[in-house]
Amino acid sequence: GVRPNMRPPPPPPPHFHHQQRPPAPHAPHQLGPPPPHAAPLQHRPPPGYQTAPPQPTQPPPAAVQASTLPKESADTAWTEHTAPDGKTKYYYNSVTKESTYEMPDALAKKQKAPSKPAIEWKEYTDASSGKKYFSNGETTTWERPKELNSGEIAEPEADEEQHQPSRKKKKTGPRKVTDFGSKVEAIAAFKGLLLAKGVTPTNKWNEVVKMCSSDTRWEACEILSLGERKQALAEYQTKRANALKNQEREERMRAKSAFQDLLAEVLPSVEFFDVVSTRFVDIRSYLTKDDRFYAVEEESTRDELFLEFCEEVRKRDERKKRNQRREAKEAFYTFLKEHEEDGSLTFASTWKSFLSSLSDAELKEPRFAASPSMSDPDRELYFSDYVIDLQAAEDEKRRRIKDARRRAEKAQREAYRSLLDRLASDGTINPSTRFRNVENVLSQDPSYGPLREQSPESPRDIFDDYIEEWNDIYRRDRKFLSRLVQSSGKKTLQVNLNSTYDDFKKGLLDEAADSPENYQDTRHILNPEEFVSSALVYFNELLTRAKESAETLKRRRSSTTGVESSEDEGEIIEDGEIEG
């Protein structure tokens, strides 16, 4: 039965037949009119609580029909409500227990009737979500009514029974339900819950459930399956473990850095401290008054950091000394360079001779005088190295001069040989020419004077070498050409006053064409790589002989009568020479 002062909740409303809409959950009992949407009711409401009209869910049972009830009471029992989305309107009849998304005719006619005095709207708060909603006794909505935009909101009446807590309610705190747009958002929220609850990388799943299940955010993540939650937990614990390791590493590094700062501040003021001989136990008491000493917990780590500090100080001191020695050496070299420029220091100078050339002020100059960064042996060594560099520079200078002279002399000799090539080409000289016969011609050329400056005998020596080399080649080629000419009966090879060199060359190639070897040798003679062609020299020789024979014959014809020709004048031999 129903307890006194308590209205039983209506049975589940039916779906209306025309539209299929997603059902809205029952609202919990609230102070005042029911909110548009709330969590399902788990127990009977206390006196004075009112349930929200349910949304359409099922077709009406046959037992409950509007026709079996008085029409007048059924028409006036319709009320308007708003779905949880805050937008969709639906209608509920408390008499027939019918729900519909279409406005009933009775309610439509009622709204068209002359308006009654405005019903006062009141503002209420949903206990589960803390969200505000509004009701005028007939309609409940999440949206603020237009009538309240400029008017006052009446305070809800406080019913004594409405303030009494539920006797069977399990949780006293509000139940907050959050809708996530995707599982990605739900997973992120779930990991945030794990972090907020202090879940460690070593917690088991059962321990996590005990730690988090009482939090409303745990229920808010019910969109995730058990496997998805465990997977999210594994990802969280892996990331959290790495973060904790990094945090511990950073803390250790900060502690070590602070301890090293402490060493750097305290140890320089300790008189007996030495980076080589001092031990950690010797200076420990000087450090224990500072909190940074205890930031490093293990004594072995402190000892290790102390040794690292000493090693770093030792290396820093060595670097400083090296820099000072380098600077002293550079200053010493600058001092020597200045004296090299004024001529008091040369590649032939010695340490003693250089010291004797310096004044007293120069001997005491910081760049030259001995110092902790530059001892006397260092100065002598630096001086010796500098003089060696001067000697090397002098040797290099001499070598360059010698090379330049050698190149110049070579160019002068090549110019003189070019002169000999020109004289050979125009026939001024030949393989049998003597130097004394052309010395006057050679001395007129610009290449003759520089060559004679090298050596007075150079022009004659180069000329003789040139003629000798040329003559060796010509004697070999002349023997071959003479054999071709003597074995041929062609007129082109019989040189006379009317013969030309081109005809002579053509005759030689024709004569040698029968033998590939002779033809190749002939072409080589006609086109030599050096000197004038031996064929041209041989042709000029034959042409000269023909001219001499013609002149001799002419003189013989013009001689007086009765004089014997050949025996008195001499016999002309084959090579054109006249024997006496």
pLDDT band at 511 (very low <50, low <70, confident <90, very high): confident
Q: Averaged over 197-214, what is the pLDDT?
A: 92
Closest CA to 210 of 221, 220, 199: 199
Stated pTM of the model: 0.41
Q: Distance between CA atoms of 518 and 508, rounded to whole angstroms?
A: 10
Going from N- to C-terminal start, the domains of the chain cover 1-163, 183-263, 298-374, 414-558
Q: Assess whether pLDDT exceeds 60 at residue 398.
A: yes
Closest CA to 357 of 371, 342, 372: 342
Q: Averaged over 355-361, what is the pLDDT?
A: 91
Listed range (8-12, 184-188, 278-282, 394-398) with the worst mean pLDDT: 8-12
Judge contact between 291 and 254, C-beta under 8 A. no
Average pLDDT over the chain, rounded to an integer: 77
- Dihedral pair phi/psi, residue 206, rounded to 5°: -60, -40
Please give the helix or strand (H or E) that residue 429 lies within, else none.
Answer: none
Q: What's the confidence (pLDDT) of residue 149?
A: 61
Q: What's the confidence (pLDDT) of residue 523?
A: 85
Q: Assess whether pLDDT exceeds 60 at residue 354.
A: yes
Residues of the chain above pLDDT 70, percent = 72
pLDDT band at 483 (very low <50, low <70, confident <90, very high): confident
Q: Distance between CA atoms of 36 and 87, rounded to whole angstroms?
A: 10
- Residue 282: CB partners within 8 Å, gap ≥ 6? 272
Tens digits of residue pLDDT in 222-253 = 888 889 989 999 999 999 999 999 988 888 88
Q: What's the confidence (pLDDT) of residue 121?
A: 74
pLDDT band at 166 (very low <50, low <70, confident <90, very high): very low
Closest CA to 453 of 492, 408, 386, 485: 408
Q: What's the confidence (pLDDT) of residue 338?
A: 92
Closest CA to 541 of 448, 487, 474: 474
Q: Assess whether pLDDT exceeds 60 at residue 61.
A: no
Judge contact between 523 and 509, C-beta under 8 A. yes
Alpha-carbon 407 to chain mean position? 50
Judge contact between 535 and 526, C-beta under 8 A. yes
Q: What's the confidence (pLDDT) of residue 517?
A: 86
Q: Assess whether pLDDT exceeds 50 at residue 571.
A: no
Q: Assess whether pLDDT exceeds 50 at residue 428.
A: yes
Q: Averaged over 112-140, what is the pLDDT?
A: 64
Q: Distance between CA atoms of 163 and 160, rounded to whole angstroms?
A: 6
SS3 281: helix
Q: Domain 183-263 class?
A: mainly alpha
